[in-house]
Amino acid sequence: MLPNIISLLRLLLVPLIIGFVANEQWQFALYGFVIAGVSDALDGYIARNYNLRTELGSYLDPLADKALLVSMFVTLGVLGLFPFWLVMLVVTRDILIIGGILLAWLLGSPMAMRPAKLSKFNTFAQIVLVGTILGVKAFELDIPFLVRIGGIGVAALTLASMIIYILQWLRHFPDHKL
């Protein structure tokens, strides 16, 4: 299906974008990041509006999103453009979500995780923050206050989203089957 192909191409785009960032080719990194964002919107639009949703797509699309965002946070953190604590918060949240789903499955009680509305805002804020950093570097802008405020906003949303997912996971096991 076309949406799955688009998601797969977005996943394959991740190492290219990371390579541009690592080599400080900021404009190419920004363009690649924008292309990844547009492809994410496009595959979702096609899947919803042409009834082309698939089980594979339900895994592939968020995998491509997480691969891109986590890779970008780690890479930008290694380059000193994000503080270590923010990178750890973003990475820890995603590890907790994936770990919780895997643990529920291993305990014989699989759970379907649907993104909470707050989580969608969190992802949007992460995308905007990464895009802002890439834009700042690509066009040699000097707006540290915007990056600082964006980082604080992403941290708050990431922490709140993490708490929501932990509570969902705990509600999934109401009889203390843990």
The tens digit of pLDDT for each residue in 102-142 reads 988 898 888 876 778 999 899 999 999 999 999 999 999 99
Instruction: Decide: 40 and 65 in contact? Cβ < 8 Å.
Output: yes
Judged by average pLDDT, the poorest of 63-72, 84-93, 102-111 is 102-111
* Whole-number Cα distances in Å, 15 to 22, 100, 143, 174: 10, 27, 27, 41
Single-letter amino acid code for the residue at 174: P
Q: Quick check: 43 and 3 in contact, CB under 8 A? A: yes
Q: Which of 76, 155, 164 is nearest to 113 (CA)?
A: 164
Rounded (10°) angle between helices 55-78 and 117-138: 40
Residue with tokens 């990056």: 147
Distance between CA atoms of residues 159 and 153, nearest Å: 10
CATH number at residue 108: 1.20.120.1760
Residue 14 near residue 67, CB atoms below 8 Å: yes
Helix-helix angle 144-172:84-106, to 10 degrees: 20
Domain membership flag for residue 177: no
Q: pTM of the full predicted structure?
A: 0.92
Name the residue range of residue 6's domain: 2-172
Is residue 178 in some structural domain? no
For the chain, the domain total comes to 1
19 part of a folded domain: yes
Q: pLDDT tier at 173 (50, 70, 90 boundaries)?
A: confident
Residue 25 DSSP class:
-
Q: Tell me, yes or no, whether 21 lies in a domain.
A: yes
Residue 39 included in any domain: yes
